Chains A and B, each alone.
Chain A
Amino acid sequence: MNQQSSPETILAVENISLSFGVMKVLDSISFDIRRGEIRSIIGPNGAGKSSMLNVINGFYHPQEGSITFKGETRKQMAPHVAANHGIARTFQNIALFKGMSTLDNIMTGRNLKMKTNLFWQALHIGPARVEELENREAAEKIIDFLGIQAIRKKPVGKLPYGLQKRVELGRALAAEPELLLLDEPMAGMNSEEKEDMCRFVLDVNSEFGTTIALIEHDMGVVMDLSDRVLVLDYGKQLADGVPDEVRNNQDVIDAYLGVPHEH
Chain B
Amino acid sequence: MIYRETGQFKANYQDDQALFPIAQDRYVILVILLITFGLVPALLNEYWLNAILLPFLIYSLAALGLNILTGYCGQLSLGTGAFMAVGAFSVYKLMVAFPGIGFIPMVVLSGVITAAVGTIFGLPSLRIKGFYLAVATLAAQFFLIWLFNKVGWFFNYSATGMINAPPMTIFGAIVTGPKADPIAKYYLVAAFVAVFALAAKNIARGRIGRNWMAIRDMDIAAELIGVRPLIAKLSAFAVSSFYVGMAGALYFAVWLGSAEPTEAFDINQSFLVLFMIIIGGLGSVLGSFLGAAFLVIMPIMLKNLMVDGFGTTSALAEHIQIIVVGVLIIGFLIVEPHGLARLWRIAKEKMRLWPFPY
Interface residues on chain B, size class: 20 to 34
B153 within 8 A of A: no
The 8 Å CB contact of B225, one of A83, A104, A114, A137, is A83
The 8 Å CB contact of B226, one of A84, A99, A128, A132, is A84
B residues 196-254 near A (Cβ < 8 Å) are 199-200, 202-203, 205-211, 213-214, 216-218, 220-228, 235, 239
B199-A123 in contact (CB<8A): yes
Q: Is the interface of A mostly helix, strand, loop or mixed?
A: helix
A158 within 8 A of B: no
Answer whether A124 and B202 are a contact pair too, CB < 8 Å, given A83-B225, A95-B220, A108-B222.
yes
B283 within 8 A of A: yes
B225-A175 in contact (CB<8A): yes
B6 within 8 A of A: no
B213 contacts across to A, CB distance below 8 A: 97, 99-100, 104, 108
What's the Cα separation between A136 and B203 when bound, in Å?
Answer: 16
B13-A89 in contact (CB<8A): no
What's the Cα separation between A82 and B235 when bound, in Å?
Answer: 22
The 8 Å CB contact of B17, one of A88, A100, A108, A136, is A136
Answer whether A100 and B225 are a contact pair too, CB < 8 Å, given A118-B203, A121-B202, A122-B203.
no
B160 contacts across to A, CB distance below 8 A: none
The 8 Å CB contact of A121, one of B208, B214, B222, B226, is B208
Answer whether A111 and B206 are a contact pair too, CB < 8 Å, given A100-B217, A123-B199, A175-B225.
no
Answer whether A111 and B207 are a contact pair too, CB < 8 Å, given A99-B216, A136-B13.
yes
B17-A133 in contact (CB<8A): yes
What's the Cα separation between A104 and B203 when bound, in Å?
Answer: 13
What's the Cα separation between A109 and B213 when bound, in Å?
Answer: 13
A240 within 8 A of B: no
Give the A interface residue count (CB, 8 A): 41
What's the Cα separation between A118 and B199 when bound, in Å?
Answer: 10
A108-B208 in contact (CB<8A): no
B214-A132 in contact (CB<8A): no
B8 within 8 A of A: no
A171 within 8 A of B: yes
Which interface residue of A98, A111, A114, A133 has the most chain B CB atoms within 10 A? A111
A98-B13 in contact (CB<8A): no
A57 contacts across to B, CB distance below 8 A: 224
A123 contacts across to B, CB distance below 8 A: 199, 202
B13-A108 in contact (CB<8A): no
Could you mark each residue 281-293 of chain B with 1 if its beta carbon is under 8 Å from any beta carbon of chain A, else 0?
A: 0010000000000
Q: What distance in Å separates the Cβ of A193 from its nearest Cβ neighbour in chain B?
A: 21
A residues 62-102 near B (Cβ < 8 Å) are 79-80, 82-84, 88-89, 91, 95-100
Q: Which residue of B lies closest to A137 (CB)?
A: B13
Q: What distance in Å separates the Cβ of B116 from its nearest Cβ neighbour in chain A?
A: 15
What's the Cα separation between A124 and B206 when bound, in Å?
Answer: 8
The 8 Å CB contact of A83, one of B199, B216, B224, is B224
A2 within 8 A of B: no
Could you mark each residue 102-135 of chain A with 1 if its beta carbon is under 8 Å from any beta carbon of chain B, else 0?
A: 0010011101101010100111100011011100
A100-B202 in contact (CB<8A): no
A175-B226 in contact (CB<8A): yes
Q: Which residue of B lies closest to A116 (CB)?
A: B207
Q: Which residue of A lies closest to B12 (CB)?
A: A133
Q: What distance in Å separates the Cβ of B41 from its nearest Cβ neighbour in chain A?
A: 27
B220 contacts across to A, CB distance below 8 A: 59, 95
A-B CB proximity, top 6 nearest:
A83-B226, A95-B221, A97-B217, A124-B202, A122-B199, A121-B206
Residues of B within 8 A of A (CB): 13-14, 17, 19, 199-200, 202-203, 205-211, 213-214, 216-218, 220-228, 235, 239, 283
A-B pairs with beta carbons under 8 Å apart, 10 shown: A80-B223, A82-B224, A95-B220, A100-B217, A104-B213, A108-B222, A108-B225, A111-B207, A116-B206, A122-B200
Residues of A within 8 A of B (CB): 57-59, 79-80, 82-84, 88-89, 91, 95-100, 104, 107-109, 111-112, 114, 116, 118, 121-124, 128-129, 131-133, 136-137, 140, 171-172, 175
